[in-house]
Amino acid sequence: MGFSALAVAAELPLHYSSVNKNGERFLCQQRRHGHIRYCKKPVSCNIKSNITAAATSSDNTATTGSTSSSSCGGKVLEIKEIRERCKKWLWKGQFSINYFVSCNSDSQSNPGPPLLLVHGFGASIPHWRRNIDTLAKNYTVYAIDLLGFGASDKPEGFSYTMEAWAQLILDFLDEVIQKPTVLIGNSVGSLACVIAASDSSQTLVRGLVLLNCSGGMNNKAIVDDWRIKLLLPLLWLIDFLLKQRAIASSIFERVKQRDTLRNILLSVYGNKESVDEDLVEIIRGPACDEGALDAFVSIVTGPPGPNPVTLMPGISIPILVLWGDQDPFTPIDGPVGKYFSSLPSQLSNVRLCMLEGVGHCPHDDKPDLVHDNLLPWLAHLAAS
């Protein structure tokens, strides 16, 4: 969809069922110049009525939903099932890339664009296990393991960069999906999607959904944050130590221990119940693969890559930003969080929703809350 079509579509108000800071349910109307909404509780929704509501701008009704399963009727996929259904794609004639595709008969005939899910640092396709089934009811859903993660190749000596991951995404769109696609990313996956969408030659990115977008491939990206300035000498020391093979191996072995991973995940999730044994295994399993240590060192010590602050103004496609306000990695009061908070008042194609009590991985932390905001936006995009 071109910018002119977007401008027309953006004039149409969207009604969302939500709650205010006191926990009271209300209908929030988003208009052309954006509106920041604070969402505390998930509410139930119906995909079909959301599509109708988006097309006709009629109000949705809602009742309280549960965070243990999708309020929109989707199931949580088993890790084993996801792995068994994955496929392989050869990138640049040499790198095996793991990917997943899911759709039902309704989504195949649905005019909505396909979706590509892009995970964050240390994660992989199963990190979307709480989202795939819900989204696949009306859309063809793809998910990909970035090079160096999951079941994709972890080539020896490869220098990982944000630009390489962005090119991987663009090539996947061109060679595998072959249709204008909505990119949905978390953390560094979000930034890779932003970089891909900012490529002036690309024609296959239909929209962007950013879940707590990272400021760079690692913490050296945002040097104007006092917290990063304070830690910068420590980060340089860590870089030096990680370049010593024996030290890096020892650190990595400690990081990937189950108890260590569980404690890290508990610190970045708002909903502690979402930190289950499956989640720990999703992160830990690929970390035991050959090449995982090299990927870890390259990513942590490498260049942070392009800054989203410089890229976002040049992107005119529709963008939905969902941000967990309890994120310690990209806090809402940090430079990146503040920048994305300001975007709806500056760019008419950006909509932002702050998610209360949610951490760095909203789609897995509180999936219902994400779906309740994502599905109407996707339906509106499909109808425009």
pLDDT per position as a tens digit, 271-294: 999 999 999 999 999 999 999 999
Distances (CA, A) of 275 to 73, 150, 251, 366: 21, 18, 23, 11
Q: How far is 373 from 327, CA to CA, in rounded Å? A: 18
pLDDT greater than 90 at residue 192: yes
The predicted structure's pLDDT at residue 218: 75
Q: Could you give all domains of the chain from N- to C-terminal order, each with its CATH number?
A: 79-383 (3.40.50.1820)
Q: Residue type for 235, please?
A: L
pLDDT greater than 50 at residue 49: no
Lowest-confidence range among 91-105, 121-135, 179-193, 341-355?
A: 91-105
Sign, CA dihedral 145-150-152-158, equals positive
Q: Which residue did the predictor score with more confidence, 176 or 40? A: 176
Q: Which residue did the predictor score with more confidence, 207 or 223? A: 207
Q: Which residue did the predictor score with more confidence, 318 or 37? A: 318
Q: Residue type for 233, please?
A: P
Q: What is the b/e burial string over 109-132, where b = at least 16 CB atoms within 10 angstroms of the residue's CB?
A: ebebbbbbbbbbbbbbbbbbbbbb
* pTM of the full structure: 0.80
What is the average pLDDT score of the chain?
Answer: 81
Q: How far is 304 from 58, CA to CA, in rounded Å? A: 44
Q: Which residue did the predictor score with more confidence, 84 or 22? A: 84
The predicted structure's pLDDT at residue 23: 39
| Whole-number percent of the chain with pLDDT over 90 | 65
Q: How far is 49 from 243, CA to CA, in rounded Å? A: 54
pLDDT greater than 80 at residue 66: no
The predicted structure's pLDDT at residue 379: 96
pLDDT greater than 50 at residue 136: yes
Asked if 238 contacts 300 with a C-beta cutoff of 8 angstroms, the reply is: yes
Measured N-to-C along each axis, helices 188-198 and 162-172 cross at an angle, to the nearest 10 degrees, of 70
pLDDT greater than 90 at residue 73: no
pLDDT greater than 70 at residue 128: yes
Lowest-confidence range among 143-147, 188-192, 220-224?
A: 220-224
Asked if 185 contacts 213 with a C-beta cutoff of 8 angstroms, the reply is: yes
Q: How far is 164 from 175, CA to CA, in rounded Å? A: 16
The predicted structure's pLDDT at residue 41: 45
